[in-house]
Chains A and B, each alone.
Chain A
Amino acid sequence: MSVELKEIIKEENIVYRKTPALTGNVMHYCPGCSHGVVHKLIAEVVEEMGVRDKTIGVSPVGCSVLAYNYIDIDWTEAAHGRAPAVATGISRLHPGKFVFTYQGDGDLASIGTAEVMHACNRGENIVIIFVNNAIYGMTGGQMAPTTLVGQVTSTTPRGRDVKLNGFPMKITELLARLDGTGFVTRQAVHTPPAIRKAKNAIRKAFENTKKDKGTSFIEIVGTCSSGWKMTPVEANRWMVEKMFPEYPLGDIKDI
């Protein structure tokens, strides 16, 4: 028995497609960039919860500065690192809305350390999505606070030296120690099972907003194949080998 392809390709047989909450614009990200998957997961969660008209995103400075072109919800743009401060204002003025920030490691763990620390310490009712790819992707792959020891970047051509540059900053563990955070987790989006887990974590974080359980913080360990000078498949492998020992996946805090 053989089934023709056109027999299968019918509307009623669709099991996976682009969620309507994505605008359909071609993303400006490099091939294989983790940002695309994370955008998709946020869009799917917002669509499945039916809260597209109640969700407000705050986009950062970095590659994902143009996130508002891709997810069809309300957005605003914050100065570099200041997204949690802007989100604080929005969530306090609009208590019923789902407010989230979307930040990279250069944005959140470097220039925006103070904002994220204090927003989490105040326990603002927001979701923070932190995509950690261990470098500054947009500006040419410079060292970020999250860069691994020995990792070669454009500003550490001989590898990150702890004497000169310090240690990788584990901001997620730091934030988990604060009383204001309710849900702190670290996920990745390199395989289908990891993507499912990451989506569940994002869903849980948005559900927590309804229950006012404090700040939800989701770190997503991602790749930057252009900055790391690898193919997307090699970058995923490198991430598993090098990044995961330093940034282990899993829930760090869940109250």
Chain B
Amino acid sequence: MAKFKGAVVVDTEKCKGCNLCVVACPTGVLSLAREVNGKGYHYSEMTGPGECIGCANCGMVCPDAVITVYRKNVQN
């Protein structure tokens, strides 16, 4: 059982679907949505919340600063 669990919240209306966060994610919890946002981009979304470790790689590589990352210690 992982010590930390994380979650990613994407501001989907500002996301441009560049896919860089999807590639940067070490556990593969992000993917581009089938739906598009108001600008017509396939925005990034969290598909497997159980696996996110809250490493913040996605937030760091996001050129549009639309990702917020949360991490919680779940060992206790």
The residue from A5, A15, A22, A233 contacting B20, defined by CB atoms under 8 A apart:
A233
How many chain B residues touch A (CB < 8 A): the figure is 34
Docked-complex contact A29 and B49, CB < 8 angstroms: no
Please report the number of residue pairs spanning A and B whose Cβ atoms sit closer than 8 angstroms: 100
Pairwise interchain contact B61-A15, C-beta atoms closer than 8 A:
no
> Does A168 touch B at the CB level, under 8 Å?
no
Contact of A16 among B14, B56, B74 (CB under 8 A): B56
B1-60: which residues lie under 8 A (CB-CB) from chain A?
1, 5-7, 9, 14, 16-20, 23-24, 41, 49-50, 54, 56-57, 59-60
A139 within 8 A of partner (CB) = no
- Residue of B17, B18, B56, B66 contacting most chain A CB atoms (<10 Å): B18
Contact A13 B72 (CB under 8 A): yes
CB distance from B72 to the nearest CB of A (A): 5
Provide the bound-state CA to CA distance between A120 and B6, in Å: 45
User: CB within 8 A of B68: which of A18, A190, A232?
Assistant: A18
Q: Which residues of B contact A17 (CB under 8 A)?
A: 59, 68-69
Q: Do residues B19 and A16 form an inter-chain contact, with CB atoms below 8 A?
A: no
At the interface, yes or no: A7 with Cβ under 8 Å from chain B?
yes
A160 at the interface (CB under 8 A from B): no
Which residue of the partner chain, among B17, B41, B66, B70, contacts A14 with CB atoms under 8 Å?
B70
Q: Which of A10, A191, A231 contacts B61 (CB 8 A)?
A: A191
Q: Chain B 64-76, CB within 8 Å of chain A: the 1/0 string?
A: 1111111110100
